[in-house]
């Protein structure tokens, strides 16, 4: 199979809008497909109910956005994060590598449904090419040759053995889709770790896309969400990159793509 040239669409963080780089026949795509209705007010009402004689149903109706912001800021600053677990968000992440999803599923407080290689044919060679490999002609040629050989063997094996056995030769670069549901607290944790510059480039790109989608529907809950450096000193200690993100200027898609290519390293 002949590899296509890298494709770098830069159309911004929007629902269903592909944003990716260096892949074959696929774009990484992050779509928020469902979420708790009124997530900011739900969590604020839950927080208020801990300190009120009234129930959350009555408090919810009386909660304005300003009151929700004040309440959430107060309880989160106190470390009372259980109240933000009442809001859930479901994302479809498509066109990513299995190297990414192996990292993603380490976030245990979540539900995952991943494209099966047992039941879905992988005969079409779709894979992610890491940007630093794509930018090196010799590395790219070696990588593409290895991918072509892996899929050639997969197709040959698929004629003789079940797909569930043939898939063992497929690489981490193999394209996959995954659906995930997390509550707001776990998303905060994911964004703290995976939006960091020290995170692996592909999952970092996905995390920033997810954060943009989450902020669109829950701007109060996620107003301070992001890498650890958003809220003070870098939590990485001696492993800090020394280049904290500026919360007032979140990275653009072009900047993230440049980071993925190692342009700023």
Tokens of 261: 């290519």
Q: How confident is the model at residue 28 (pLDDT cuts 50, 70, 90)?
A: confident
- Indicate if the pLDDT at residue 10 is higher than 50: no
Q: Tens of pLDDT along 68-79?
A: 999 999 988 888
Structure confidence by residue, pLDDT tens digits, 116-174: 999 999 999 999 998 889 889 999 999 999 999 999 999 999 999 999 999 999 999 99
Q: What is the pLDDT of residue 95?
A: 93
Q: Examine the pLDDT at 113 and tell me if it is beyond 50.
A: yes
Predicted TM-score (pTM) of this structure = 0.86
Q: Would you list the domain boundaries of the chain?
A: 1-36+87-265
Helix H or strand E segment including 102: helix 98-104
- Is residue 227 left, alpha or beta, with left meaning phi > 0 and alpha meaning psi from -120 to 50? beta
How many other CB atoms are found less than 10 A from the CB of residue 254?
Answer: 12
- Where residue 15 falls among pLDDT bands split at 50, 70, 90? very low
**The CATH number fitting domain 1-36+87-265, selected from 3.90.1150.10, 3.30.1360.170, 1.10.10.60, 3.40.50.10860:** 3.30.1360.170
Q: Can 243 be counted among the known catalytic residues?
A: no
- Could you give phi then psi for residue 53, rounded to 5 degrees? -75, -20
Q: What is the mean pLDDT of the chain?
A: 86
Average pLDDT (170-196) is 96
Under the banding of pLDDT at 50, 70 and 90, the label for residue 89 is: very high
pLDDT for residue 252: 78
pLDDT at residue 262 in the model: 66
Two structure tokens written together for 255: 């900047």
Which of these ranges, 25-39, 100-114, 208-222, has the smallest mean pLDDT?
Answer: 25-39
Give the 3-state secondary structure of 43-56.
Answer: HHHHHHHCCCCCCH
In the set 41, 98, 192, 194, the catalytic residue is 194
């Amino acid at each position: 199979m002949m590899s296509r040239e890298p494709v770098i669409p830069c159309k911004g963080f929007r629902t269903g809008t592909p944003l990716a780089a260096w892949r074959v026949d696929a774009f990484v795509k992050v779509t928020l497909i469902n979420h708790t209705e009124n997530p900011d007010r739900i969590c604020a009402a839950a927080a208020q109910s801990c300190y009120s004689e009234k129930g959350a149903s009555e408090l919810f109706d009386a909660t304005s956005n300003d009151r929700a912001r004040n309440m959430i800021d107060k309880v989160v600053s106190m470390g009372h994060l259980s109240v933000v677990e009442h809001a859930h968000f479901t994302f479809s992440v498509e066109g990513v590598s299995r190297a990414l999803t192996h990292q993603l599923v380490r976030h245990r407080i979540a539900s995952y449904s991943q494209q099966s290689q047992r039941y879905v044919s992988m005969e079409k060679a779709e894979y992610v090419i890491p940007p630093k490999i794509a930018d090196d002609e010799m590395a790219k040629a070696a990588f593409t040759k290895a991918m072509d050989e892996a899929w050639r063997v997969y197709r040959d094996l698929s004629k003789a053995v079940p797909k569930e056995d043939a898939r063992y030769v497929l690489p981490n670069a193999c394209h996959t889709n995954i659906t995930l549901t997390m509550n707001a607290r776990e998303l905060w944790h994911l964004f703290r770790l995976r939006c960091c510059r020290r995170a692996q480039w592909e999952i970092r790109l996905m995390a920033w896309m997810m954060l943009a989608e989450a902020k669109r529907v829950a701007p109060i809950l996620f107003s301070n969400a992001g890498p650890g450096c958003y809220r003070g000193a870098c939590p990485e200690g001696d492993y800090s990159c020394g280049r904290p993100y500026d919360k007032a200027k979140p990275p653009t898609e072009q900047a993230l793509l440049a980071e993925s290519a190692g342009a700023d390293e």
